[in-house]
Amino acid sequence: MTLRLSLAQLNFTIGDLSGNIARMLAAARRARAAGAAVVVFSELALTGYPPGDLLDEPDFRARVQAALGDLCAANRETPGLVWIVGAPTRRRGPGKALENSLLALRDGEIIFSYAKQLLPTYDVFDERRYFEPGPDCAGILAIGETRLGMLLCEDAWNDAERDYPVNPLARLAAAKPDLVLTLNASPSNIGKREERQALLAAASRRHGFPMLYVNQVGGHDQLVFDGASFAVTPEAGVVFEAARFGEEVATLTFQEGGFRDAAGQPLAALPPGGLAATAFYHRQILLGLADYARRCGFTRVVVGSSGGIDSALTLALAAEALGPENVIAVTLPSRVSSAGSVDDSVALCRNLGIRLHTHPIHDLVAAYEAGFHAAFGEPLRGLALENLQARIRGTVLMEYSNQFGALLLTTGNKSEISVGYCTLYGDTNGGLGLIGDLYKTEVFALSRHVNEVAGCERIPAAIIEKAPSAELAPDQRDTDSLPPYPVLDTILKILIEGERLGAEEQERVRADYARLRATPEGTALIARIRRMIWKNEYKRRQAPPILRLRPRAFGSGRQMPIAAHYEP
């Protein structure tokens, strides 16, 4: 029994039905040229994933229905080649009007269909909002002498039978397939690739069948999909892995229960290990920004350059993702800005090769102060005056964005966003946050990594080494209001992510957290940070989208009420 298959790991655009079909057809032609009998695409390849409430729009549903006909017509252009495609399909009867389906097409006809049984509604997923679960049955398609079992993403994640009353893997095992294909749209976060591989390798061993896992790649709003499609066998575990963070059409030969390359030769050994955390963050942010800007129609971005590490890292990443010629920096000094901050911005932009504009805000601040005093009879002072400076900066940056059509990138990190150490309608202005899912300690680590990869000082050492400051008041330091960032980040990781942390990180962080709780001062600090997180939910609700990097990011993956009473 020999079957040649191509896995098509592609970067689909949500809602671009004709573009997605064209992408599939190009990949199918490559698969056919490689001698494949089957080409496998990802979950909801027709619409891109996740389509969200587009699925509730009657016009979009009609377009999807018409596109299914176009998909069959495209399949007809590769005679004899079976396409395995994810798409939403109509259903009849009570419940939701759609199913999340897997379709097999050959010579322009749908020869097989399977509806996803397990519809996740946790973290960033909300599939039960749109789809009805498929029937509890095994999906088997025979291609020649090979019996192919079919699954869609979540269907393979309940083998321990803890989350759903149905286990599609066990049902499929009873049907004794030769090979199981699973179509996926699995968002990426730190540790997710390793989790997928361990899960499917265990399922393959338990049930005794090889599996081919095909994933989507690309950035879609806050979510980034890393690809990293792979093949596993019961004996050897993972034997093949496709590109990470890039498209690939790879052809494998399935023979005697195992995988070989397109020519039938043994597969090359996989390199040991994966990416270090900083390397992972680096690549995920670059892909997420590039796709977000492209899909939203932006060719250039603008960033407020404070001379601090957050804006420096944001500028460095933007220059790498989009090219330095497409990145604009603006420094906006006030009367309390240090000369070093402006000098550091100049050095940074020189290193990165990007343009730097200077827009002082002294006179604007003074005019607002005078106007406030005249209207309300007392001078601006304290926090109101500090935040005024941030809001003026945010307004100027949005002026630039509107005038010149550049996407404004916000520069807040997860530590500051968590405790509200940011100004609403000021430094929270923007269309996308690149580092908003990185704790401050990780911002420092990624900045060093960027320099190491470049082999030179892209981000000046002076920026990395100086004490963080918002510079909204004379001689201000972040530690005036916050504990040292290593301490703060330990507390935040437990309070925000908790059990979602990877095993190694969780062990380390919990040990540090326990030491804090062992002292009255530490216990009081934890309580204070918890209150700060609760009090600032309203700010996070109004913040721009943040690229998701960690298991629990602010945004759709963490839905907390604003007007609520939280017990101390």
Which positions are annotated as active-site residues?
43, 116, 153
> What is the arrangement of strands in the sheet containing 248-255, beginning at the earlier edge strand?
109-115, 98-106, 82-90, 38-40, 2-9, 248-255, 258-261
Sign of torsion, CA 328 333 339 341?
negative
The two structure tokens encoding residue 322: 């989009």
Q: 435: helix, coil or strand?
A: coil
Local structure of residue 349 (DSSP, 8 states) = H
Q: Which long-range contacts (CB under 8 A, 24 or more apart) does 164-167 make?
A: 164/118, 166/117, 166/118, 166/136
State the pairing for strand pair 301-304/407-410: parallel
Give the whole-angstrom CA distance, residue 533 versus residue 125. Answer: 24
Q: Which helix (H) or strand (E) holds 448?
A: helix 440-454
Which residues fall within 8 angstroms of residue 437, CB to CB, at 6 or more apart? 414, 546, 547, 548, 549, 550, 553, 554
Contacts of 516 (CB under 8 A, 6+ apart): 487, 490, 491, 522, 523, 525, 526
Beta pairing partners, 358: 331
Burial of residue 524, with CB atoms counted within 10 A of its CB: 0-12 exposed, 13-18 middle, 19 or more buried: exposed
End-to-end CA distance of the chain: 64
- Name the helix (H) or strand (E) containing 146: strand 146-152
Return d(Cα 338, Cα 165) in angstroms, integer: 61
- Coil vs helix vs strand at 541: helix
Closest CA to 210 of 245, 238, 191: 238
The two structure tokens encoding residue 352: 């990165």
> How far lies 497's CA from each of 85, 128, 417, 491, in Å?
35, 24, 14, 10
> What six digits make up the tokens of 510?
């919990």
Taking the CB of residue 198, how many other CB atoms lie within 10 A of it? 12
Give the integer Cα–Cα distance in Å for 76 and 105: 9
Q: Under a CB-based contact definition with an 8 Å cutoff, are residues 321 and 290 in contact?
A: yes
Sign of the Cα pseudo-torsion (106, 155, 41, 238, in order) = negative
Taking the C-alpha atoms of residue 209 and residue 22, their distance in angstroms, rounded to an integer, is 33
> How far is 181 from 7, CA to CA, in rounded Å?
10
Q: What share of the chain is helix, strand, coil (3-state, %, to 5)?
A: 40, 20, 40
Q: What is the rounded CA–CA span in Å between residue 248 and residue 228?
A: 9
Answer for the pair 285, 306: CB distance below 8 angstroms, yes or no. no
